Amino acid sequence: MEEVARRALRRGRARLVAALRVAPLWEALEERGLFTRPMIEELQSAGSRGEQARQLVIDLETRGKQAFPIFLSILRDTGQGDLAEMLVTECESPPAPPQLVELRPVELDVHREKPPKNVNFPERLSVPVQAESERPQRPPAPARGLAGDKRNHDLVYELRADPCGHCLILNNVNFSRDSELSPREGSDVDCEKLEKRFKALRFHVLIRRDLKAQEMVSELQKLARRDHSALDCCVVVILSHGCQTSHIQFPGGIYGTDGKPIPIEKIVNYFTGSHCPSLRGKPKLFFIQACGGEQRDRGFAVDCDSPADEAPGGSLQSDAIPVQTPAGSVDEPDAVAILPTPSDILVSYSTFPGFVSWREPSSGSWYVETLDSVLEQYARSEDLLNMLLRVANAVSAKGRYKQIPGCFNFLRKKFFFTCK
């Protein structure tokens, strides 16, 4: 969808939510190809008329370039031309100019060893990884010694609830014959490890196995609609085949067992502050074991103190699948998911976008095996970002082919697990 159309939908959302009559739209939306029947049923299950209208407006942005003009036509056909004209007017309105922040010069005395006391240095949004000597030896929860240090306390998420949150693990092992996707041998090993690990980290763990794309969406939405008010965190783990997809912030897509992809952006979007109010301000962690594409990285030569970890060539499997969009897929090729409030989110990928992710039938995937080991050793003393660096470093040293995990970090504070 063009940016001007997205802007019009966002500007007009409040009026659409207040006045849009959704009941006459469903049949036309399906006939004109904007939404499939399962998608319509999903929208109808969103709640009240206003909630259905809000979700419809949000999802329209993911339905391709022709979605906006078709929607305007349907509005006029169903006697809601005033709303169509409102959106047209919003399209013609210029975008709001960026707000300018006045910068005031600060005079510094270069002859002083310390800066003046009245100079306030802004805190960085992303907290840099600390040196080994600076890392806390125990998780800095209030009861563990940091309650009196206001500055440090403000930079750490508090996990007081027990359990501290829900952990949903979606484990796809067997795929339909029509999908042309191979069974993911070793994925059950990954699932068992992570189930035990997150239970030890004080999460309530829920496992769902071999789900079609729409079933995965339903489970994710069900989790997002729960009341998390008494909890401090939420974790989603997805073990499946993956692919490249169009995206804005979060690359990649995850396949259901029917071979239909779900953009990771869409998965994350279910848990943002606008869609899951009870998780506002709370960390939402996503761990993705899937390929980001089908490129195989052979790495490059470097001087090394120790030989590379060679894995048996015949036992390696990947979670790759070529870029494709099967008929009736969850989203169109040019579809994108919006992310209105991406704070307090971290998405950890098993591999770099575009590359395969390796898995062994006997021991599971490189990424999950290493993540589990690092959590076991360091969860009591290090924050999550520091541990993910350890995972990336360890996985990058494995095998004949290379793999490098990474993450998209929108956390505002340091995250320390609280272990049993």
The least confident of 45-54, 148-157, 257-266, 353-362 is 148-157
Catalytic residue among 241, 243, 276, 407: 241
- In terms of phi and psi (left: phi > 0; alpha: psi -120 to 50; beta: otherwise), the region of 17 is alpha
* Measured distance CA(119)–CA(131) in Å, rounded: 26
What is the DSSP secondary structure assignment for residue 295, as one 8-state letter?
B
User: What domains appear along the chain, each with residue ranges and CATH number?
Assistant: 3-92 (1.10.533.10), 165-299+307-409 (3.40.50.1460)
Pick from 2, 171, 126: nearest CA to 72:
2
- Lowest model confidence (mean pLDDT) among 200-209, 280-289, 390-399: 390-399
Residue 172: per-residue pLDDT: 96
What is the pTM assigned to this prediction?
0.57
| Of residues 268 and 249, more confidently modeled | 268
Helix axes 37-44, 49-60, angle to 10 degrees: 140
CB–CB of 197/237 below 8 Å?
Answer: no
| Catalytic residue (choose from 233, 276, 291, 407) | 291
Q: What are phi and psi of 220, to 5 degrees?
A: -65, -45
- What value does the mean pLDDT take over residues 157-170? 95
Higher pLDDT, 268 or 149: 268
The C-alpha R_g of the chain, in whole angstroms, comes to 24
Alpha carbon distance 407, 337 (integer Å): 18
Catalytic-residue membership of 419 = no
Q: Compute CA distances 388 → 201, 248, 372, whole Å.
A: 16, 23, 11
**pLDDT (mean) for 75-88:** 92
Mean pLDDT of the chain: 77
**Taking the CB of residue 31, how many other CB atoms lie within 10 A of it?**
9
Respond yes or no: is residue 407 known to be catalytic.
no
User: Over the stretch 326-359, which tens digit does the pLDDT of each residue have?
Assistant: 334 333 333 333 334 568 999 999 887 656 667 7
Beta bridge partners of 359: 317, 365
How much is the pLDDT for 64?
83
Task: Kindly tell me if the per-residue pLDDT of 82 is higher than 80.
Answer: yes
